[in-house]
Every structure is written in structure tokens, then in C-alpha cells.
Amino acid sequence: MPVTRLLIANRGEIAVRIARAAADLAIPSVAVYSEDDTRSLHTRRADDARPLHGRGPAAYLDADQIIATAKDASCDALHPGYGFLSENPAFAQQCADAGLTFVGPRPEILGLFGDKARARMLAERLGVPVLPGSDSPASLDHARAFLASLGEDGAMMIKAVAGGGGRGMRVVRAGDDLAEAHARCQSEAQSAFGDPAVYVEQLLPRARHIEVQVIGDGTGAVTHLWERDCSLQRRHQKLVEIAPAPGLPPAVRDGVIAAAVRLAAEVRLDSLCTFEFLIDTSAEASDAPCYFIEANPRLQVEHTITEEITGIDLVRAQLQLAAGHTLAALALEQHNIPEPRGHAIQLRINMETMTHDGTVRPSGGTIVAFEPPSGPGVRVDTFAYAGYTTSPAFDSLLAKLIVHTPSGAYAEALARAYRALCEFRIERVETNIPLLQNLITHPGVAAANTHTRFVEDHLADLLAPAAHPRLYVEVEPPQRPTTIAGARIDTTDPLAVLHHGKEAKSAGARAPSPASSPVETIAAYPETPSGTVVLPAPIQGTI
């Protein structure tokens, strides 16, 4: 069934990304926003914007309200993005019951892969290796018994059953406060995913984190779109992703891809799904053991680098599959997929800093200047702009910087990423750009000799002050005059509300020229009876 109007049940950069893909297919889109998210850029990129009752993530987790909003906006399809309700099988079923096409896998696939313990059991049945762990939600007593079974020097991971993105995860070693870690993981899982269940798994201390992107159409036909290396993480959250994985032995690559395809075909995957593996770096590279850890049946944050190396718009493909197209009709059968074109790297620009003990400190405030890099092979996915005031209620991700080099030179891609970071100007909100600059110029990263604890092991080097060039002009924004005549707008805020200076107008004063002031006179919008010109925030209806 064709998609004629799409509700985007998300916010921020991924909502902007979905709106653009819908526009390319001539599908009108509708954004939603919480009470404290009215100035987020996604409300302007969609064709319509509808308010949600509530503040923070809770508003975007309100399934009943979101479905009611979709019906009220005459939508026939809904894209959940990532996070929030994207992997919630009950929500996908609610959409189906309401006559809405859910842009993602079927509810039963979400239920299977969303339950990490059940996913492990499927992998074991298909002969795909997994790490020792629990095959059902783990109580505190179960977790304590499992840790004891690992021996005196054993260590395990506690993970949210319905989780992802590093939330609801803790490393626990013998002697650590297991009860506190277990309780915190449950609390984080409940807050982020609406489900407090957790499971446990043996810790593989130094592993490469490799994931495979797979797409299917529900007929049993599935196609892999190569792999990504997500080993560079902090606190189990990815910082840098690379496609294809540099220096990965062909036999290892073939093994993880074959396992991912086997899992996807078994469930008759009907959208996107990413299958994640850990590779033991302590073994010989050519035959390093690989372990399946989880599957994410949704669009991934790092889908961008797969798009760059394949030339395939994954969000567009999702929408087309949801409308009933097959892989064959979309020319996405495996024989149509080219070898990876060069290298692509994604760097997550987060509003945060890190202390020398590894503690992450969130930052925020009003962004005074926001000037992303550009040029050949440079892409920035973001919802930020100069004048935007961030909210501590939401994730710290501010922008995704993606670079691509069509040549096969990984070093060239790193150099392009470094230069783009040096061009990125963000003022008055602290970010992790200095950390990323140190990270991608580290010899270990250049040699592709990384693992999931690489950031922790090299934290002192990565946090050391370094004289990175600033390839932009630093200009202090001009101060706003205290009095002015005529309509006025703060030019540092593209979404500002306009006001007339009634006192100055009555005195017959003239507005200063743009050369002498940052205030621009706007005459295109009519006054209200009170003398105020207002831009709707956000705009509702067709833009």
C-alpha cells in the first residue's frame, strides 16, 4: 500500500533525516514535538508539526498519544526513527491495529530481537556462536550466581533486554557492588525503553565491535550491505564508526556477514536490521573467534556510513519496503550491491566533556555560533543552529559528522575527518570535538589496532591538550542594542520571534542600517493589533 502521509515519531537529527527522505519520495511528513522541544529544527523540516502533551522523552514514549496524533493528522504511515518506540513490538502492533503502516520490521521480529536473551537463543539454534550468558531476564540472584560461575577474576556485562545505545549497561567484576549496578541498569532501561528487564553476559575485555547491515523484504530474500567497525566507544556508547572495517581479515568478514544473513533469512526480515558481533582480539587475526551479541531491528545512528560506501539511501529504502516493494523491484538483490566504495567515517559530536577518570560531564546552553564543515566527501546530519538552546532532558548527540573518500585509502578518510573537525565551529556549548581530534590522530587508530576499551586505555593521551588548528574565523557576535525602532530580529537566532519597538516608533525614530547593527528590518509580516509580529513556532500546515 503506498505511503501518502508520514508521521515521524521522533525528534532531532534523525527526524530531520527522515523528513528529507520522505520529501525525496514526494511523501508529506508530520513532525511531533514535546512541550520543551518546540524550537528543535525537525519541527521546521517536516511539512506539518503537531504538539505532544508532556515534556522530555516521556512525550515521545507515549504510544497512545502519538498514534492519536497520526490519525488526527491523516497519516497512513509512521516512522519511529531510532530509540524511543522504534523497537517496541506492542507499539508496532498498535500502529497496525490503528491502520498505520509501521516503517520497520513486523512486531514479531521486534519482539524476538528486542529481547536480547531470545535473540541469543536463536543464534545458538542456528549455530552462530554467542558468549556465555543468560537466556532470560536476570534477577539479582541470577546475576550474582552467574558472576560467581566466572571465577575469581571473572567479569560480566549487565545489559538492558530491550536496550541499545549503551543505556542500561554496566561492567561488573568480582568484588564490585553488583546490587547497585543491577538496580541502576534496571532504572536506566525503564527510563529509556519502558522495560526494566536486564540480562547478563560474560565480558570480553578487548574485542572489536563489528556490525553487519542487512535489509529484507519479508519474502525470505535478504541482502547484506557490508560491515561497520564500532569499536571506538566510551562507556559502551559509540563515538566513531567506520565502514568498511579497516584491516579486518577476509575470513572474519565473511564469517560475520554469513552469520548475519543466516539470522535475517531465518526470521524473514522485512526492513532494516543490524547484527552486532564481538571479535576476540587476543586470538590470531586470521581465525579470531566471533560472537553474536545482539540485533537491532531498526535504523541505526551510524546508517550514514553504509549509505556513503554503497550509494544506497537506507531511509528511502525503508519507506519503499513499507509501501510493499520487494528487493528485486528496488534493485537491492545481493548481486546488485557493489563492493564498498572507499572508506566512510562517522564521528558523533556530543554535548559533553570527559574528566581524567573517564567520567562524562554533559554540557548545554544556547549555541551562539554553529558552522559545520562542508566540501567534497563531507556530510553533517544535525538539528542544531545558532540560537538554539539545548535541553538536558534529551540525548547529548548534537551532530553527526560523516566523511567519505571514494579511494580505498583509510588514511585519506582519517585525514579528511580530522580537517572537517578542525573546520567545525560551535560556540558557547562545550563538545567532545577535542577528544575526537586526539582520537582519530592516535597511531593506534591509524593502524586500525583498536578495541572496545581503546578509549579507556588511552584516556590520558586522548584528554591531553593539543594545538589543533581552528580552520574557521572566530568572530564574537555583536551585542543587541537596548532600544530600536521598527521590526527587529536577533540575527543569531533564525527562529526568533519578531517584535516592533513601539516606543521608538511613536517617537518617529528610524531603524539603524544593517551595516551599523545586527538587527534587520522585516516588513513582510503584518502586525498584530498590539504591534507585535510573530512567526508561528513551530509552523503547522504545509511549508
Residues 212, 275: contact at Cβ < 8 Å? yes
Helical H segments across 323-369, by residue range = none
- Give the separation between CA 495 and CA 534, rounded to whole angstroms: 10
Other Cβ atoms within 10 Å of 166 Cβ, number: 16
The rounded distance, in Å, linking the Cα atoms of 392 and 381 is 20
Determine which one of 50, 106, 228, 298 is catalytic. Answer: 298
Query: Residue 373 in contact with residue 423, Cβ under 8 Å?
Result: yes
210 is written with which cell numbers?
Answer: 563489528
Lookup: cell for 306? 553504509
What three-state secondary structure class fits 3? coil
If one counts every other C-beta atom within 10 angstroms of the C-beta of residue 393, the result is 13
Cβ neighbours of 443 (radius 10 Å): 9
Q: How many other CB atoms are there within 10 angstroms of residue 4's CB atom?
A: 13
HSE-CB at 170 with a 13 A cutoff on CA atoms is: 19
Residue 363, CA distances (Å) to 36, 353, 388, 389, 431 in order: 17, 7, 14, 11, 7
| DSSP letters spanning 50-65 | EE-SSSTHHHHT-HHH
Distance, CA of 159 to CA of 178 (rounded, Å): 13
Do the Cβ atoms of 252 and 362 come closer than 8 Å?
Answer: no
- The DSSP line for 366-404 is B-SEEE---STTEEEEE---TTPBP-TTS-SEEEEEEEE
Nearest of 86, 92, 123, 91 to residue 106 by alpha carbon: 92
- Annotated catalytic, 316? no
Give the torsion through C-alpha atoms of 307, 313, 314, 320, to 10 deg: -160
Distance (Å, whole) CA 198 – CA 115: 10
Cis peptide before 244 (omega within 30 of 0): yes
User: From CA 275, how far away is CA 248, in angstroms rounded?
Assistant: 17
Q: How many CB atoms lie within 10 A of CB 149?
A: 11
523 CB burial (10 A radius; 0-12, 13-18, 19+): exposed
- Whole-number Å distance between alpha carbons of 368 and 351: 14
Active-site positions?
298
